[in-house]
Amino acid sequence: MSAVSDKVKPCLWFNGQAEAAAKFYVSLFADSEIVSVSSYMVEFRLAGRRMQALNGGPEYTLNEAFSLSISCADADEVDRYWSALTADGGRESRCGWLKDRFGVSWQVVPEGLGAVLGDADPVRAGRAIQAMMGMRKLDLAAMRSAADG
C-alpha cells in the first residue's frame, strides 16, 4: 500500500471552531494529530490523512454535499464512532449518515456493506436496500437477515 499523499487535502470551513473540531476529530482516530495551529487555520492528520480546518467565518456553512466516510471493521466500531459523533449536539440522519456537533457530515459504514447491497441476486440486494432505507445507524447483520428473507 502506498503512503497517503499530502498534495491534495480536504479543507473544512468553520465559524471560529476549527481548532475545537480538529482536536475532537484527532481524539477519535488512531494515527491522528494536530500538526499546526494559527489564528485562521489548523493543519491536522486524521487517520494518517493530512487535513485543514479553516476559521473562515459565517459566510459559508458545511452541508451534506461533502462528507467524511469511516470504514468500520465491525458493529462495535460502528457503535463507537456513531455515539462519539452524534454526542453533544450531533444529529442522526438516514442510511448511516450523521452530522457532528460542528456540522460536518459523516458516513459510518460497516465493512461488507457493498457485498450485501451488491448481491448478485437482485431480490436479495433489494431486500437489503429496503432494510437499509429504514435505518439511521447501519446494522449489517439486520441487512444480511433481510436479504435472506
Residue boundaries of the structural domains of the chain: 8-61, 62-149
CB 131 within 8 A of CB 146: yes
User: Is the domain covering 62-149 a CATH 2.60.40.420 domain?
Assistant: no
Residue 1's pLDDT band (cuts 50, 70, 90) = very low
Q: What are phi and psi of 104, to 5 degrees?
A: -80, 135
Averaged pLDDT for residues 131-136: 98
Q: d(Cα 9, Cα 22) in Å, to the nearest integer?
A: 14
On the question of a common fold for 8-61 and 62-149, the answer reads yes
Q: What is the pLDDT of residue 5?
A: 72
pLDDT value at residue 3: 61
3-state class (DSSP) for residue 41: strand
Instruction: Report the mean per-residue pLDDT for the chain.
Output: 96
Q: What is the DSSP letter of 88?
A: G
**CATH number of the 8-61 domain:** 3.10.180.10
Report helix, strand or coil for 28.
Answer: helix
The span from the CA of 75 to the CA of 41, in Å, is 35
What pLDDT score does 71 carry? Answer: 97
pTM of the model: 0.93
For 2-60, how does the pLDDT look when each residue is reduced to its tens digit (9 = 90+)? 566 788 999 999 999 999 999 999 999 999 999 999 989 999 999 999 999 999 999 99
Q: What is the mean pLDDT of residues 122-149?
A: 97
